[in-house]
Amino acid sequence: MQFTRRSFIKATGASVFLPAIIGRAWAAESGAPLPIPEVMDLSSGTVGELTAQLGKSPMLQGVSTETAGYSQAYLGPVIRVKRGETAHLKLGNSIDEPVSVHWHGMHIEGDQDGGPHSPVNPAEVIDAALDIDQPAATLWYHSHIMGRTGAHVWYGLAGMLLVDDPEAADSGLPSTYGEDDLPLVVQDRIFGSNGALVYKPRGASQMMGYRGNEILVNGAIRPEASVPAGLVRLRILNGSNARIYNFGFEDGRTFMQVGTDGGLLPAPASMSRLTLSPGERAEIVVDFSDGAAVRLLSGPDNNAPMGGMGRMMASPQSDANGVFEVMRFAVNTGLTAKILTLPNTIAGAPVPDFGAPVRRRRFQLNMMGGMMAGGGHAMSINGQSMDMAVINEQATRGKTELWEIAGDGMKHPFHVHGTSFQMLSNGGRALDPAQIGLKDVVLVDGRAEILIRFDRTADDAAPYMYHCHILEHEDAGMMGQFTVV
Ligand code: C2O
Ligand code: CU
Ligand code: CU
């Protein structure tokens, strides 16, 4: 496969709604070991290299799947950076169309942000420098080219990024990477009868966001993680284009949420279900000390105009309630359980200090009503579709604002570049304990209010974006750009 616009569009002939089961050349077997991504540690001046490339991935049995990744066949390494340092990277692109590396959740200047105005063109190499000054957090990176983000992420141009904060090093949380501290990039995908990834958003599947019928974690179908008989920290990224997960364990066990998009929570919050919309992250700590194997489940996702239309979407094989398997955990008593209890408070967790807002803005997300720059119908925000040549808003650095976001039709995961915000309300309901943490995506349930402030700047040449993180909505124009001066 050439990774060209044309080959993306006509990758396979399978129908979106009825993936070919008959005559397929592969089997989707679950239970392979959870792949643990390699770590690219950029602390202490190490210069990393991240090159967008095509690859072949053994996702299915009996066939290899053409994918894309950053310096690997699918997805990218887990990048670690340290607060107080500047992280350096060489960004390359061996694919024949422009890609970018957007640092989702990073508090960095607009010209470091890797958004649509900062492409890495084919065969180009760009030196990137990221000034890291924000609390310890689980972030991610992905390609963010105007109109192409959905395809790029679907084929694999995404990865996790961890900010380490020397001041939060003694939080008492499990932190041995790959043992009791596991990255989980959760995605849904559709495979055609030839084993190729199918990405054809149009009509209803563009309107509702493109969803898949197979669940992958770190690129493997419903894998199995081997964990010690103690506390294990799971850093979960919803790296799906459109699917909203409602995670829970098969045995109903409770777990502790210890982090949100923008950092750790001041105290662990106990829960048995966790909702994550596209782009959102959560850090949870799960107790496996009883030694029992358990499955992580999710579902159903009925996010669609008039609810019921969600059933038209591609969906994993599920029980009568729409619940399906995400992955499994098996306890290995040969592994050392290093952490057995959690602290009551988490040292080094950020304390939001937004103060009173000095101005309000309102964002109305519209599934219709916009016009594409070149003409034609598009999605929009405040009646305007994303136009690379138009700056929609101008914010002032260091000033707290109250943003009200209203969504029509369905729930929209609204994301803002360049900072983290604090939720004030959502859907007219009181916030969950875990929603008091710093966020950069809010799943807008009718109407949400956030407090937001920018400590970095972005100019006309490289503005920040705000957009719906259902990537088909973003690509269809539900995005705007703003400067911070
Ligand atoms: Cu995760 Cu504008 O992006
Ligand atoms: Cu972002
Ligand atoms: Cu949306």
Higher pLDDT: 435 or 2? It is: 435
- Nearest CA to 148 out of 181, 115, 185 is that of 115
Whether 403 contacts 360, CB under 8 Å: yes
Mean pLDDT of 66-86: 98
Is the pLDDT at 311 greater than 90? The verdict is no
| Predicted confidence (pLDDT) at residue 14 exceeds the cutoff of 90 | no
Beta bridge partners of 256: 270, 285
pLDDT of residue 20: 46
Tell whether the model's pLDDT for residue 355 goes beyond 50.
yes
User: Helix or strand or coil: residue 475?
Assistant: helix
What gap in Å lies between CA 143 and CA 99, rounded to an integer? Answer: 6
Atom of ligand 1 nearest to the CA of 467: 2
Q: Could you read off the pLDDT of 219-262 as tens digits, one per residue?
A: 999 999 999 999 999 999 999 999 999 999 999 999 999 999 99
Higher pLDDT, 5 or 160: 160
- Tell how far the Cα of 162 is from the centroid of ligand 2, in angstroms: 15
pLDDT of 12: 36
- CA dihedral sign of residues 9, 244, 464, 69: negative
| Atom 1 (ligand 1) nearest CA | 104
**What is the four-CA torsion angle of 259, 262, 266, 267, rounded to 10 degrees?**
-20
Q: Is 222 within 8 Å of 60 (Cβ atoms)? A: no
Rounded-to-integer distance, Cα 371 and Cα 229, Å: 55
Nearest bound ligand to the CA of residue 281: 1
Tokens 């967790």 locate to: 349
**173 Cα: distance to centroid of ligand 3 (angstroms):** 34
Residue entry with tokens 């995400």: 326
Q: Which of 476, 450, 469, 481 is nearest to 412 (CA)?
A: 469
Number of Cβ atoms within 10 Å of the Cβ of 477: 27
Find where tokens 């890291």 sit.
Answer: 132
Can you say how many angstroms the Cα of residue 184 is from the centroid of all Cα atoms in its chain? 11
Q: Is the pLDDT of residue 9 over 60?
A: no
Q: Is the pLDDT of residue 22 over 70?
A: no
| Per-residue exposure over 400-430, b if at least 16 CB sit within 10 Å of its own CB, e if not | bbbbbbbbebbbbbbbbbbbbbbbbebeeee
CA–CA distance from 249 to each of 139, 246, 255, 259, 328 (Å)?
24, 10, 9, 19, 9
- Residues making up the chain, counted from first to last: 485
User: Helix (H, G, I), strand (E, B), or coil: what is residue 269?
Assistant: strand
What are 255's strand-pairing partners?
271
Taking only the tens place, the pLDDT of each residue in 169-225 is: 878 999 999 999 999 999 999 999 999 999 999 888 889 999 999 999 999 999 999
In CATH terms, the fold of domain 181-331 is Immunoglobulin-like (2.60.40)
Pocket, ligand 1, Cβ cutoff 6 A = 102, 104, 142, 144, 279, 415, 417, 465, 467, 469
Distance CA 244, CA 3 (A): 28
Q: Is 365 helix (H, G, I), strand (E, B) or coil?
A: strand
- Rounded (5°) CA angle 326-328-334: 155
Q: Is the pLDDT of residue 310 over 70?
A: no
Contact 476, 470 (CB under 8 A): no
Angle at 472 between CA 459 and CA 72, to 5 degrees: 80
Give the pLDDT score at 204: 86
> What letter represents residue 12's amino acid?
T
Which H helix or E strand runs over 41? strand 39-41
Tokens of 285: 């700590």
Residue 353 CB partners (closer than 8 Å, separation 6+):
none
What confidence tier does 18 reach under pLDDT thresholds 50, 70, 90?
A: very low
Looking up tokens 């943003």, which residue turns up? 403
Cβ–Cβ under 8 Å, residues 207 and 155: no
Q: Which atom of ligand 1 is nearest to the CA of 104?
A: 1
- Within 10 angstroms of residue 436's Cβ, the number of other Cβ atoms is 16
Predicted confidence (pLDDT) per residue in 77-132, tens digit: 999 999 999 999 999 999 999 999 999 999 999 999 999 999 999 999 999 999 99
Between 3.40.50.150, 3.40.50.2000, 3.40.190.10, 2.60.40.420, what CATH number should domain 5-164 receive? 2.60.40.420
Token pair of 62, please? Answer: 């009996």
**How many whole angstroms from 469 Cα to the centroid of ligand 2?**
9
Asked whether the predicted pLDDT for residue 70 surpasses 70, the reply is yes
pLDDT for the residue 219 = 98
Q: Report CA-CA distances (Å) from 176 to 140, 172, 180, 346, 352.
A: 19, 11, 5, 17, 27
Query: 465 CA distance to ligand 2 centroid (A)?
Result: 7
Confidence of residue 13 (pLDDT cuts 50, 70, 90): very low
Q: How confident is the model at residue 375 (pLDDT cuts 50, 70, 90)?
A: low
Whole-number percent of the chain with pLDDT over 90: 84
Distance 288 CA to ligand 3 centre (A): 36
Nearest-atom number in ligand 1 for the CA of 142 is: 1
**Which numbered atom of ligand 1 lies nearest the CA of 140?**
1
Looking at the chain, the domain(s) classified CATH 2.60.40.420 span 5-164, 181-331, 359-484
- When pLDDT is averaged across residues 370-393 and rounded to a whole number, the result is 85
Phi, psi of 296 (to 5 degrees): -95, 125
For ligand 1, atom 3, name the residue with the nearest CA.
104
Q: Give the pLDDT band (50/70/90) at residue 433.
A: confident
Closest CA to 396 of 375, 377, 419: 419
For residue 61, the number of C-alpha atoms closer than 13 Å in the C-beta half-sphere is 6
Confidence of residue 19 (pLDDT cuts 50, 70, 90): very low
Instruction: Please check the confidence at residue 307 and state whether its pLDDT lies above 90.
Output: no
**Ligand 2 centroid to residue 143 C-alpha, Å:** 10
Task: Report which bound ligand comes closest to the CA of 468.
Answer: 3
| More reliable by pLDDT, 372 or 28 | 28
Average pLDDT value for the chain: 92
Q: Name the CA radius of gyration of the chain, rounded.
A: 21
Rounded distance, CA 135 to CA 279, Å?
18
* Local structure of 91: helix, strand or coil: strand
Instruction: Locate 87 and state its tokens.
Output: 């992280």
Across the range 437-442, mean pLDDT stands at 97
Ligand in nearest proximity to the CA of 105: 2
What percentage of the chain reaches a pLDDT higher than 70?
92
Q: What is the fold, at CATH topology level, of the domain defined by 359-484?
A: Immunoglobulin-like (2.60.40)
